[in-house]
Amino acid sequence: MGGMPGAIWIFALITFVSTMAGGLIALRFKHVLHYFFAFAAGSLIAVAFFSMLPESLEMAASVGMSTKTVMAVIVFSFLSFSFVEKYFLIHHHHDNSEHGHIMGIFGAGSLICHSFLDGVAIGAAYHVSFTTGLIVALAVIAHDFTDGMNTVVLMLKNQHSPKKAKLFLLADALAPVMGVVLTSMIFIPARALAILLAVFVGEFIYIGAATLLPETAHHKSWKVILCMLAGALVFFFIT
């Protein structure tokens, strides 16, 4: 694990670039976003099941924590993210009122919080092993690309200027870096690490299956399905 510190900073920088690139592309090429959403959905779901869940269960077993506890944390995490989106983010459709302006800021702010948690996920995974950190970092990079897109789309849909959208995009790009910084400076006990990984399993499954995939539902092209399968297969073979 001697190479971990240098690698983690490189991936933190790549998450910044990925988020910024996603947002800037959303400003220019709206007609191809569904392909990126599909790839990110497949990759997040694959990483959750093939990498983070096994690591969480293995770490939980090493400290005497039951499988049922890990599964309960995953369900709670999934439902918590569902609650947040249902009662807060879903209101971004109200475009023509002051409420729309407020929800644009709140929705984009929530995505910034998600991006911060993505950085924490990278850092937590690196505490497990270099390989786990690498796999999670690659999945987060794919997801943060779509996060950057969503941040810009939410701001523009709710009548904010492109300039303001870019400011929120910058904050979203910095958020995962801050998450990596935080977890790189603190010691995470094995029990807490098992729970953290389980939380991120629930988050990744929710974002992939309930947030990103619906964005592709109205696109019937077989290319969308191919992109989703490609995202899943890439991380299946990496793990």
Question: Domain for residue 228, yes or no?
Answer: no
Does the pLDDT at position 164 exceed 90? no
Question: Domain for residue 57, yes or no?
Answer: yes
Question: Please, which pLDDT band fits residue 88 given cuts at 50, 70 and 90?
Answer: low
Does the pLDDT at position 54 exceed 50? yes
- pLDDT recorded at residue 104: 60
Does the pLDDT at position 167 exceed 50? yes
- pLDDT recorded at residue 42: 87
Contact 165, 27 (CB under 8 A): yes
Question: Please, which pLDDT band fits residue 102 given cuts at 50, 70 and 90?
Answer: low
Token output for 18: 């990925």
- Mean pLDDT value of segment 185-199: 88
Q: Which domain holds residue 205?
A: 4-223
Which pLDDT tens digit goes with each residue over 31-44?
777 887 888 888 88
Dist. CA 201–CA 70, nearest whole Å: 10
Question: What residues contact 66, with CB distance under 8 A and at least 6 apart?
Answer: 60
Question: What residues contact 137, with CB distance under 8 A and at least 6 apart?
Answer: 8, 11, 14, 15, 122, 125, 126
Instruction: Name the average pLDDT for the chain.
Output: 82
Question: Domain for residue 229, yes or no?
Answer: no
Question: Domain for residue 212, yes or no?
Answer: yes
- pLDDT recorded at residue 2: 42
Question: Domain for residue 171, yes or no?
Answer: yes
Token output for 145: 């690309």
Question: Domain for residue 25, yes or no?
Answer: yes
The alpha carbon of 188 is separated from its chain's Cα centroid by a whole number of angstroms, namely 21
Q: Name the CA radius of gyration of the chain, rounded.
A: 17
Question: Domain for residue 233, yes or no?
Answer: no
Into how many domains does the chain fold? Answer: 1
Question: Domain for residue 52, yes or no?
Answer: yes
